Amino acid sequence: MDHDNYTDEDIRRILTDTTTIALVGASPNSARPSHGVMSFLLSKGYKVFPVNPGHEGKEILGQKVYAKLADIPEPVDMVDVFRASEYLSSVMEEVIHMSPRPKVVWAQLGVKDYDAAAKGEHYGVEVIMDRCPAMEHPRLNIGR
């Protein structure tokens, strides 16, 4: 996949087909982008599992926080990554060991690691990088 250009159809399909999202790097601080995006996704009807080891067992926006992806008690369709680019590879390692494996890893604005993307794709995971679902959702007028 060309990770510098995504089609509107691919983005629309992912955001339409996704129902459950693990949000890695979730923050309880309402000033942080991850908090705002999580709030947006919840408002659109997605089930969101915040992942942040520093807040394990607490709640963010009424959702229980998990330390790592493997701790989430049910399958997720998408992993939304709010971590710096240098951490995307380790997140992808967690993703490829999940069972069932998420269909999509979505790296937020400014987050890119082409090697991590290639690894995920090798294991059948679709990868979107340097995009924000809370921006793409309204831009594409997704009706959720």
Q: Categorize the per-residue pLDDT at 1 as very low, low, confident or very high, splitting at 50, 70 and 90.
A: confident
User: Of 15, 26, 4, 22, which is closest to residue 137 (Cα–Cα)?
Assistant: 15
The β-bridge relationship of strands 63-64 and 59-60 is antiparallel
Q: Within 10 Å of residue 84's Cβ, how many Cβ atoms? A: 12
Q: Decide if pLDDT at 51 tops 90.
A: yes
What does the buried/exposed string (b/e) look like for 102-133 if buried means 16 or more CB atoms within 10 Å of the residue's CB? bbbbbbbeebebeebbebbeeeebbbbbebbb
Q: Decide if pLDDT at 137 tops 70.
A: yes
pLDDT of residue 4: 82
CA distance 130 to 31: 20
Q: Decide if pLDDT at 144 tops 80.
A: no
How does pLDDT run across 109-132, given as a tens digit for each residue?
Answer: 999 999 999 999 999 999 999 999
CA distance 117 to 127: 6
Q: Decide if pLDDT at 101 tops 90.
A: yes
